[in-house]
Structure 1
Amino acid sequence: MLRGFFTECPLTQLSRDLDAFGMLSTSVHPGLLAQIDQHTAAIRDSISQDGVPVTRTSLAHYLRGFLDGARERGWDSTGDSYDWETLRLMSICSLARDLGFVR
């Protein structure tokens, strides 16, 4: 098992859930990949702006805070398109995979 890899980590749970819907497949449309890349850069910037490195823990904290904020705004992803929040969640998972925090 990878060092720092926890099956009950919120990053792992989210990645598993999104992957079950095929949202994290490698055959994603190039335009969607560009949007995910932009969100990923914004996530990195947000976490590291105060000198905090992007770690499994800091990314999990970011995820929790993001979900709390989305819930407070009443976010509900029931549409058939990718809204801003869904793209941000996909980007969090993509970053977690790229950094080896989830498989």
Structure 2
Amino acid sequence: MTSEFGRTANRMAVETARASLDDLMAWVGVDGLVAAIREPGLLAAIDQHSATVRDTLGEHVTDVTALAEYAREVHAAAFVDGHLLPDLDRLDWSNAPSYLLRLVAVCALAEAAGCL
């Protein structure tokens, strides 16, 4: 007897993670990456955050569920540390908090890995 549960649960986890990354890209990724294209210093900062994410996730850096979980952990830690969500319409990306830059880096890596 075989079960579809494992495959169904895994597919659901992947789709949930993909939706989470899509939401993250819509929330901070697009604006952050557009700002980075315009500001070389910001792009360099996001690249440094991307390197940290790559170092942390290792071979899982292209895994949609690992990237989504990493982003969730960054967001949760920022919340626990008392960081309020900034008004992105008024945010000066050159002075963005590091947790936002880390989340933008996750978006960039997810896009590069085809996770979005």
TM-score (norm 2): 0.69
2:67 to 46, 53, 59: 59
Trace 1:71-82 onto structure 2 (pairs within 5 A).
71-78=79-86, 80=92, 81-82=95-96
- Mean CA deviation greater in 22-31 or 69-78: 22-31
Count of matched residue positions in the alignment of Structure 1 and Structure 2: 95
2:19 to 9, 14, 20: 9
Identity over aligned pairs, percent: 33
Trace 1:1-103 onto structure 2 (pairs within 5 A).
9-19=19-29, 22-25=31-34, 27-48=37-58, 53-54=60-61, 55-78=63-86, 80=92, 81-102=95-116
- In 2, the alpha carbon distance for the partners of 1:46 and 1:8 equals 20
Answer with 1 or 2: which has the greater Rg.
Answer: 2
For 1:46, the aligned partner's letter is: T
TM-score (norm 1): 0.77
User: Which structure shows the higher helix fraction?
Assistant: 2
For 1:86, the aligned partner's letter is: L
For 2:112, the aligned partner's letter is: D
The RMSD of aligned alpha carbons is: 2.4
- In 2, the alpha carbon distance for the partners of 1:62 and 1:77 equals 18
Unaligned runs of at least 5 residues, structure 1 = none
- In 1, the alpha carbon distance for the partners of 2:75 and 2:16 equals 20
